[in-house]
Chain A
Amino acid sequence: MTGPAELAIIGVGQTPSRRRHEGSTPELVHAAVGEALRHSGLGMADIDLVIGGFAPDALAGENCPDKRFLPAAGAVGKWSMRVNTGGTTGIAAAYAAMDLLEAGHGDAAVVVGVERMAQARSVPAVFNSIFDPIYERDTGLSTVSMAALRASRMMQRWGYTAELWARVAERNFKHATSNPLAQIRTAYTAAEVLTSRMLAWPIRQLDACPISEGVCAVVIARTAAAGSRPAAVVRGRATVTDTYNMGDRIGRREGDLVELLTLRLAAERALGQAGLGSAAGADVVEIHAPFDHAETMAYAPLRFCAAAEGPALVATGFGQRDGGGPVLNPSGGPQAANPVGATALIRLAECALQVMGDAGQRQVPGAATAVATGQGGSTQFSTCTVLSRN
C-alpha cells in the first residue's frame, strides 16, 4: 500500500444478519448504504465509486445480482464494478475501492457487500459446485467437509480437540449477545456445542457459522474528508492467493495446508506497513473464520503464538473481553452471523466502528487499533487489514 492518499473508513451501515430477510435486495442495500452515508457525513453527490461484492450467484438464484442492487447503492452515473472472490469478496471489494482512490479516480467510494442465501433450496449442491469439476467434485465435497479435512489435520498435528474448539465457539456466542446485528444471540455453552448435530467429522453444527443473509456498506474516503469526525484510517492491507489444490499444500515445504501460509504472508505485509510486530498489539481483532477451528488456524499467522502453542493459548481463555489482551470478535464473529458476500467486509466495518468509538454495546473501551482478516476459497485467499483512529 503506497501512494500519496491516506484513506479511511468514515462511515458504516449494516442490516441485521438473519436466516431470511423479507425485503428485496435493492431495498436492503439502499437502507445500509443510507446509514453508512449518514454516519460519514457525506451525501451521494460526494461519492465517485460504488463497488459491490456478492458471492456466489447461485445461492441468490440470480445471475450477477449486483447489477440489480448496485443502482440502489447509488451506482447510476458513477464508476461501478462487482468483485467476486468467494469468502473474501467483501474485503476484496473494499480493496478495489482503495486501489481506485489511490490512483486518483475520485475522492470517496461506497462499498457494499451483500448476501442472499435464503432464496436457495439446495445450498450444499451449490457449495459442491465450487470444486474442480474434473478431479474433485465427484467426491461430494462441500465447504463444511473441506473445512473438516483441515480440522482433522490440526488435531493430528497440534493436538487440538473438539473440547478446545467448543470453548472458542462459546466465547464467540457470548460476545454476540452484545451485538444486536448478530443472527445468533444465544450464549451457547461449550457443552451445547459438543452435543450439537454432527455435520462432517469433527465439525458440529455449533462449531460452524449459520446460513445468513445481510448487507454491509462502508464509505471509504481520503482521511482529510473526515475533518474532525472520527475515522478509521487504513494503516496496512494485503491480500495473498494460494494454489487451489489442498493436496498440493499437504506437506508443502513453504507451508502446510493448515499453517495458512497466505494469511501469514498477508499479515506480515499489513502489520509491517502499520508498524505492528503482531496482531496481539491491537485492541480488537475480527477474524474471518466460519468455523471455530479455522479461527485457531489464524493464531500463528497473526503472531499470537507459534502454531503448536495454539491449544495452550485457547485454554487460557485468550480473546475474552477484559482478558488483558486483544478482544477477538467482539461482534461475535462469523459464528454468530456469516452472510458470505458481506462477511469479510463486516469484519472491516466492525473494526472501523470499534476505533471510531461507535460500536455501541459491543464497544471495547479505548480501542484505538484493530485488525481484520479475510478468508476465501479453499483457505486459499487471505487478507489482513489494520485500522487505527485518525
Chain B
Amino acid sequence: MDEPAGGSVPPLTIDGHWAFDYQYFAGAAASRFFAGLAARRIMGSRCPQCARVLVPARAFCDACFVETTDWVQVSPHGTLETFTILTTSFPGLPEPPLVVGYVALEGASTAVLNFVDGIDLTDPDAAGARLLQRPRVTARFRDSCQGRITDFVFTLDEPA
C-alpha cells in the first residue's frame, strides 16, 4: 500500500534531544553486594525455599517469590558459560572489541555477567573457537571500586 499523497511541499524534520538523567536506588541488597566487591568478596544470597545461591546477591528469589536469607561468599573462580565479542562503542565504556560473558562461579547457582580481559582478539573466529571450550576464569578486583559491577573483571586462567 502506498504512502498518502504528499503534494509539493518538502517534508519537514525538526531536531530533538532526549537526555533524561536518572538516579537509581540500588537498594540494601545491591549496596551490600557492592560493598562486598570493595572488600574483594563476591557475595550471593540464598533462597530458603529452593536453596539456590543467587549471584549477584538479591533481596528476593523471583522463582519462589520469597525473600532471600543467608548471604554467602562465592569463589572468584568459575567457568565461562557463554560469551560474545562486542563491537559497538559506547560513551563512558572501554573501546571495543570487548569480550563479555556469563560466568558460573563455584558456589553460585546462577551465572554472573561481566567483561573478560586479556584475550587476543586479532582473529575473532579463532578467539571465539577457543572461548567456546568453556575455559576456567578468575575474577580480578580493581584497585579502586566505585560500587559498580565493573569493579571486578574476569581473566582466563590459561591465556588464550
Contact = CB atoms under 8 A, between A and B. Distances in A.
Contacts of B145: none
Given A32-B1, A149-B100, A250-B110, 9 more contacts: A13-B1, A23-B3, A136-B149, A152-B84, A200-B85, A201-B84, A201-B85, A246-B102, A248-B110
A201 B124 contact: yes
B134 interface: yes
B39 interface: no
Contacts of B125: 201
B110 A245 contact: yes
B81 interface: yes
Interface of A: 13-16, 21-23, 27, 31-32, 35, 58, 61, 119, 124-125, 128, 133-136, 138-142, 144-145, 148-153, 155-156, 198-203, 243-248, 250-251, 257
Contacts of B131: 152
A218 to B, nearest CB: 15
Interface residues of B, number: 48
Contacts of B22: 133
B4 A139 contact: no
Interface in B13-29: 16, 18, 22, 24, 26-27
A156 B131 CA distance: 10
Contacts of B100: 139-141, 145, 149
A27 B4 contact: yes
B71 interface: no
B122 interface: no
Interface of B: 1, 3-4, 6, 11, 16, 18, 22, 24, 26-27, 30, 54-56, 62-63, 81-88, 90, 93, 98, 100-102, 104, 110-115, 124-125, 127-128, 131-132, 134, 148-150
Contact of A152 (B55, B62, B86, B128): B128
A198 B87 contact: yes
A27 B22 CA distance: 34
Most buried by A among B1, B62, B149: B1
A139 B113 contact: yes
B134 A243 contact: no
A47 to B, nearest CB: 20
Contacts, number: 127
A251 B108 CA distance: 11
The 9 closest A-B pairs by CB, nearest first: A148-B84, A247-B111, A201-B85, A153-B82, A250-B111, A248-B110, A140-B93, A200-B84, A247-B110
B154 to A, nearest CB: 11
Contact of B54 (A13, A128, A156, A248): A248
Contact of A145 (B11, B86, B114): B86
A23 B2 CA distance: 11
B3 A21 contact: yes
Contacts of A148: 84-85
Contacts of B134: 156
B83 to A, nearest CB: 6
22 contacts: A23-B4, A119-B16, A128-B90, A133-B22, A134-B26, A135-B56, A139-B150, A144-B88, A145-B88, A149-B82, A149-B101, A150-B82, A152-B128, A152-B131, A198-B124, A199-B87, A200-B88, A201-B84, A201-B124, A203-B84, A248-B63, A248-B110
A124 B114 CA distance: 19
B34 to A, nearest CB: 9
A207 to B, nearest CB: 13
B144 to A, nearest CB: 15
A247 B150 contact: no
A84 to B, nearest CB: 17
Nearest to B127: A201
Contacts of B84: 145, 148-149, 151-152, 200-203
Contacts of B54: 248
B120 to A, nearest CB: 14
Contact of A247 (B6, B90, B112): B112
A135 B104 contact: no
Given A22-B6, A149-B84, A156-B134, A139 B114 contact: yes
A141 B113 contact: yes
A257 B113 CA distance: 14
A354 to B, nearest CB: 19
B110 A152 contact: no
A149 B62 contact: no
Given A27-B4, A145-B84, A134 B18 contact: no
Contact of A139 (B26, B111, B124, B149): B149
Contacts of B111: 246-248, 250-251
B63 A135 contact: no
